[in-house]
Every structure is written in C-alpha cells, then in structure tokens.
Amino acid sequence: MECAELLQYLSEYIDNNLDEELTAEAQAHLATCANCKVVLDTTQQTIFLYKQQEPRKIPARRRRRLFNQLQDAFLKRPESS
C-alpha cells in the first residue's frame, strides 16, 4: 500500500471498517511511513477532540421563550380523532 491509498482508506481504517487484508496492508505501511502515521494520529486526535466537546445548548432565556411558544402551539392544536 502506498501513501495515496492509505489516505483514501484512512477513515475506514480508523472506524475499523476495512477487511483483514487491507487492515494488514495499512498497518504495514504505517509501520514504515512516518508522515502517514502522523496523519493517522492527528486525525484520530481531531475526532477525539470534537467528540469530547460539550453538546451545544440553547441559551436559557431563549430556551424558555421557545418552550412557552411551542407549548402554546402544541396545546392549541386540534385534538386527534
């Protein structure tokens, strides 16, 4: 496997979606190519940093207002038959 191919399969490799043969080829390439190893490690760290982020929340005042408006609309809707 060469660098271009490794790059193409990188996400599948990270997500453990490659078959055994391609995984072995990717591992063999990574063992000898320092640049591809850096790309792998920093891509994994990139994914980790985003997964670790606190989920975004609606600011409290905005949330209260939205809740009240939607609750009104919900309660005013016609009853299901």
Partner 1 sequence: MIDERDLIAALRQKDPHAFATLFDAYSDKLFGLAVGLLHDEDEAEGVVQEAFLRLFEGLDKFEGRSRLGTWLYRVAYNASIDRLRKRRPTRPLADELDAGDDSLPMPAIFTDWSSAPEPLFASAEAHAELERAVARLPESLRAVFILREMEGLSTTETAEVLGINTGAVKVRLHRARLLLREHLSGYFAERVAAGGN
Binding residues (CB under 8 A) for partner 1: these are 7-8, 10-12, 34-35, 37-39, 41-47, 49-51, 53, 55-59, 62-63, 66-67, 69-71, 73-75, 77, 79-81
Residue 31 or 49: the one with the smaller Cβ distance to partner 1 is 49
Nearest CB to partner 1, comparing residues 20 and 55: 55
Q: Which CB sits closer to partner 1, 27 or 45? A: 45
* Sign of the four-CA dihedral 12, 39, 22, 52: negative
